[in-house]
């Protein structure tokens, strides 16, 4: 009986590759693919225009306003901006669950960074052109296509330009979306567009924890207060000891001290010093172990400095009050797709159909949030190629952008099912 019913099911529902092949053979898809071919000047224009609008972490408002305007121009329904600055637009379908297509609009570049965006032939140059100019532009390309070429699809599409993906943004845009019942309960599948390319599928969410470690002491004059505890020395000792923590190659785990601050002048004992630490691992257990090692190194460094102060104590009478604080400034949950997840089958089938070679990767992206909640999500590129992400030398090359767009479109349509 069991095998009988299985046979029935496979008679009624085509396999994912069959479904993708049938979709791709439809006249609408053929006209869509032709349409993409003619759009590069418009796409490059949007990409350049957007990259010129500053979008530092926690400062994405102006870019959000620009994107909402584009969503309206492209005829998306119910365009809105939520409390944290995420921009939404809907392309209607049938049914209450959405296929979400999202791209982060924030950059890593602080306010005031010169945004010298320029085009030379097929290449765009400047901060943020690829990460995430490529992702946002691909999203706009899909929205524009839906306005120009009629596409039948069942489930509606939710377009999202979200804030807070990079650095200390800590995925706050996506976290907010999946913390809002309206979206949390209605997003069936999430396709996250991040950066350029069409050669990866991020199906596993790399976890990370980030800390600001602050050490405070009484401070003082370098000569007359000599002997008082020195927060910079404590931090240095912490780093020296923590960086000797062994890390396994598998599961890959890493640490970095990225920023160090402290002190006021060469002849003052600093009152405080701080550092920012980034821990990453594909394993939640390794992350915990690294965090413990960091805290132990800090405690030991404090004790050592206290002892050193006592040894020097004859020279000074100030209380040796010294304290430390470890503030969590980032916490990105790990997670991964079930091997049989439909979204992965669809992307794989689309890639096979398009003759596109792509590899599964583990990374930290907006997809961490739905993946950590057990939802189906992938992060893929917006097509073309790019490099120098997070540097002022960032570039994007539009050659091959079409492949990225075709891949996104087919994936969305296959996930949504074809409506009437
Ligand atoms: Zn990005």
How many angstroms is it from 26 CA to the middle of ligand 1? Answer: 33
E-strand stretches of 249-346: 253-262, 268-269, 272-281, 323-332, 335-336
Of 140, 117, 116, which is closest to residue 67 (Cα–Cα)?
140
pLDDT tens, residue by residue, 10-58: 455 679 999 999 999 999 999 999 999 999 999 999 999 999 999 999 9
User: What average pLDDT score do residues 336-358 get?
Assistant: 94
pLDDT tens, residue by residue, 89-120: 999 999 889 999 999 999 999 999 999 999 99
pLDDT at residue 4 in the model? 40
Distance (Å, whole) CA 105 – CA 382: 13
Contact status, residue 245 vs residue 323, Cβ threshold 8 Å: no
pLDDT at residue 87 in the model? 98
Q: φ and ψ at 305, to 5 degrees?
A: -70, -40
How many angstroms is it from 285 CA to the middle of ligand 1? Answer: 26
DSSP codes joined into one string, 212-239: EEEEE---EETTTTTTS--HHHHHHHHH
How many angstroms is it from 129 CA to the middle of ligand 1? Answer: 11
373: left (phi over 0), alpha (psi -120 to 50) or beta: alpha
Share of the chain above pLDDT 70, in %: 95
How many angstroms is it from 330 CA to the middle of ligand 1? Answer: 16
How many angstroms is it from 57 CA to the middle of ligand 1? Answer: 12
Of 175, 168, 187, 190, which is closest to residue 84 (Cα–Cα)?
175
How many angstroms is it from 134 CA to the middle of ligand 1? Answer: 9
How many angstroms is it from 363 CA to the middle of ligand 1? Answer: 11
Q: Is the pLDDT of residue 201 over 90?
A: yes
pLDDT at residue 140 in the model? 98
Share of the chain above pLDDT 90, in %: 83
Distance (Å, whole) CA 372 – CA 355: 31
pLDDT at residue 7 in the model? 42
User: What average pLDDT score do residues 172-199 get?
Assistant: 97
- For the chain, what is the mean pLDDT? 93
pLDDT at residue 11 in the model? 52
Distance (Å, whole) CA 213 – CA 277: 8
Of 315, 321, 306, which is closest to residue 225 (Cα–Cα)?
315
Q: φ and ψ at 77, to 5 degrees?
A: -90, 155
User: What average pLDDT score do residues 328-338 get?
Assistant: 88
Strands of the sheet containing 272-281, edge to edge, are 253-262, 272-281, 207-216, 323-332
pLDDT tens, residue by residue, 222-268: 999 988 999 999 999 999 999 999 999 988 899 999 999 999 999 99
Q: Is the pLDDT of residue 9 over 70?
A: no
63 CB-near residues (< 8 Å, 6+ apart): 50, 53, 54, 55, 105, 106, 161
pLDDT at residue 85 in the model? 98
DSSP H or E run through 90: strand 87-91
pLDDT at residue 285 in the model? 85
Q: Is the pLDDT of residue 297 over 50?
A: yes
pLDDT at residue 372 in the model? 87
pLDDT at residue 1 in the model? 37
User: Could you tell me whether strands 359-363 and 253-262 are parallel, antiparallel, or unpaired per DSSP bridges?
Assistant: unpaired
Q: Across-strand partners of 395?
A: 125, 387
How many angstroms is it from 132 CA to the middle of ligand 1? Answer: 5
Q: Is the pLDDT of residue 220 over 60?
A: yes
How many angstroms is it from 131 CA to the middle of ligand 1? Answer: 5
pLDDT at residue 12 in the model? 59
Q: Is the pLDDT of residue 8 over 50?
A: no
pLDDT at residue 2 in the model? 40
């Amino acid at each position: 009986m069991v095998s009988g019913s299985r046979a029935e099911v496979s008679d009624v529902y085509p396999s994912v590759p069959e479904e993708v092949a049938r979709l791709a053979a439809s006249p609408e898809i053929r006209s869509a693919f032709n349409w993409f071919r003619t759009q590069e000047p418009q796409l490059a224009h949007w990409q350049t225009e957007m990259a010129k609008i500053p979008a530092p972490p926690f400062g994405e408002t102006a870019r959000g306003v620009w994107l909402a305007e584009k969503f309206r121009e492209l005829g998306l329904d119910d365009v809105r901006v939520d409390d944290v600055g995420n921009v939404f637009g809907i392309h209607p379908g049938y049914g209450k669950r959405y296929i979400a297509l999202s791209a982060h609009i924030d950059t890593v570049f602080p306010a005031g960074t010169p945004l010298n965006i320029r085009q030379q032939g097929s290449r765009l140059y400047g901060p943020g052109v690829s990460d995430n100019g490529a992702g946002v532009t691909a999203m706009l390309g899909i929205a524009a296509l839906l306005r120009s070429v009629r596409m039948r699809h069942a489930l509606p599409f939710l377009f999202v330009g979200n804030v807070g993906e990079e650095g200390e943004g800590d995925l706050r845009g996506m976290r907010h979306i999946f913390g809002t019942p309206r979206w949390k309960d209605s997003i069936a599948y999430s396709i996250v567009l991040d950066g350029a390319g069409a050669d990866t599928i991020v199906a596993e969410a790399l976890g990370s924890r980030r800390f600001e470690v602050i050490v405070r002491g009484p401070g003082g004059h370098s000569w007359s207060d000599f002997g008082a505890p020195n927060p910079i020395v404590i931090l240095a000792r912490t780093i020296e000891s923590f960086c000797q923590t062994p890390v396994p190659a598998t599961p890959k785990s890493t640490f970095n001290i990225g920023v160090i601050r402290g002190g006021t002048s060469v002849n003052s004992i600093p009152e405080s010093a701080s550092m920012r630490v980034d821990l990453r691992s594909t394993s939640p257990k390794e992350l915990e172990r690294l965090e413990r090692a960091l805290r132990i190194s800090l405690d030991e460094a404090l004790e050592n400095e206290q002892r050193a102060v006592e040894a020097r104590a004859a020279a000074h009478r100030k209380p040796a009050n010294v304290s430390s604080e470890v503030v969590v400034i980032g916490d990105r949950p790990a997670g991964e797709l079930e091997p049989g997840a439909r979204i992965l089958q669809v992307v794989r089938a689309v890639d096979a159909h398009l003759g596109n070679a792509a590899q599964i990767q583990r990374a930290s992206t907006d997809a961490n949030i739905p993946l950590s909640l057990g939802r189906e999500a992938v992060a893929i590129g917006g097509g073309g190629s790019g490099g120098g992400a997070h540097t002022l030398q960032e570039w994007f090359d539009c050659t091959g952008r079409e492949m990225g767009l075709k891949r996104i479109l087919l994936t969305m349509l296959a996930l949504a099912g074809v409506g009437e």
